Amino acid sequence: MKIDIITIFPQVLTSPFAEGIVHRACEKGLLEIGITNLREFTTDRHKTTDDLPFGGGGGMVMKPEPIFKAAHSLINNSSSQPRTILLSPQGRTLDQTLCNQLSQENHLILICGRYSGVDERVRKHLITDEISIGDYILSGGEVCAMVLVEAVVRLLPGALGNEESAQEDSFQSGLLGGPRYTRPQEFQGLPIPEILLSGDHEKVRVWRRKEALLRTLLRRPDLLERNKLTEEDQAILEKIRNGSAD
């Protein structure tokens, strides 16, 4: 997969991709990240990327020409038809389903906007998708691009080591994870649940499932409604709801 990011702050994006899973995916040849400095696609002496809004009012607007030029230079060099994504608080909210879809693509072009907003012609005539990372206001799309890249790259086959498996991620399975314990067996007088020492793997499996379901029911009941549960899960949930689970 190729991911190109168009930004006026290219240096902000270098260190997050020089480490961790994203870096490893690049080393393994699963991923190539290109950072494009929007200013290189300006034509004036001051490398202007924004301008006053037509019709007056406050704030600045990102000019269309540099964004179109930068994106088209990437599209023209692409062997596939890239999805050209504007990161914007007005976009569709990123979730695991969308991340899975994006991870199937050959080429993504991410355009980072700034607080001023972009000329509407970018939205209407250049981009294929507009994506937000959640309902809060940031000052630019750079951090959002990092979030999207991390969430998508860990879904690329081979990106994670044996230790971590994307399929076991809580959102991938549709449930929150349950409690986990490691050594010491007693910490500051606090023991661990006895069942984990029983050696009965089937009992442990059912207990873990019950704990995950309970936590999801208490914290994120919306997830239970959105996802199809197995018969076993439904039976465990029924027990929890009746108060008959341990």
Decide whether 115 or 187 has the Cβ nearer to ligand 9D3: 115
Scan residues 44-63 and list those touching ligand 9D3 (CB under 6 A). Answer: 59
**Torsion of the alpha carbons at 137, 36, 91 and 59, rounded to the nearest 10:** 50
Contact predicate 68/36, CB 8 Å: no
Q: How many CB atoms lie within 10 A of CB 106?
A: 12
Query: Should residue 12 be labelled a site residue for ligand 9D3 when binding is judged by CB under 6 A?
Result: no
Q: What is the smallest separation between the CB atom of 162 and ligand 9D3, expressed in angstroms?
A: 33
Decide whether 42 or 88 has the Cβ nearer to ligand 9D3: 88
Scan residues 101-120 and list those touching ligand 9D3 (CB under 6 A). Answer: 113, 115, 117
State the binding string over 171-210 for ligand 9D3 (x if CB under 6 A, else -). ----------------------------------------
Question: Tokens standing for 174?
Answer: 């549709």
Contact predicate 63/48, CB 8 Å: yes
Contact predicate 119/86, CB 8 Å: no
Contact predicate 131/148, CB 8 Å: yes
Cis, peptide link before residue 179, omega less than 30° from 0 = no
Task: Mark the segment that binds ligand 9D3 (CB under 6 A) among 43-51, 71-79, 83-91, 192-200.
Answer: 83-91
Contact predicate 160/30, CB 8 Å: no
Q: What is the smallest separation between the CB atom of 104 and ligand 9D3, expressed in angstroms?
A: 21
Residue linked to tokens 């999805």 = 83
Task: Mark the segment that binds ligand 9D3 (CB under 6 A) among 9-17, 32-40, 42-50, 138-146.
Answer: 138-146
Task: Mark the segment that binds ligand 9D3 (CB under 6 A) among 18-26, 77-85, 126-134, 184-192.
Answer: 126-134
Using CB under 6 A, which of 87, 155, 213, 236 touches ligand 9D3? 87
Tell me the C-alpha distance between 124 and 137, whole Å: 22
Give residues in contact with ligand 9D3 (CB under 6 A): 59, 87-89, 113, 115, 117, 132-134, 136-141, 144
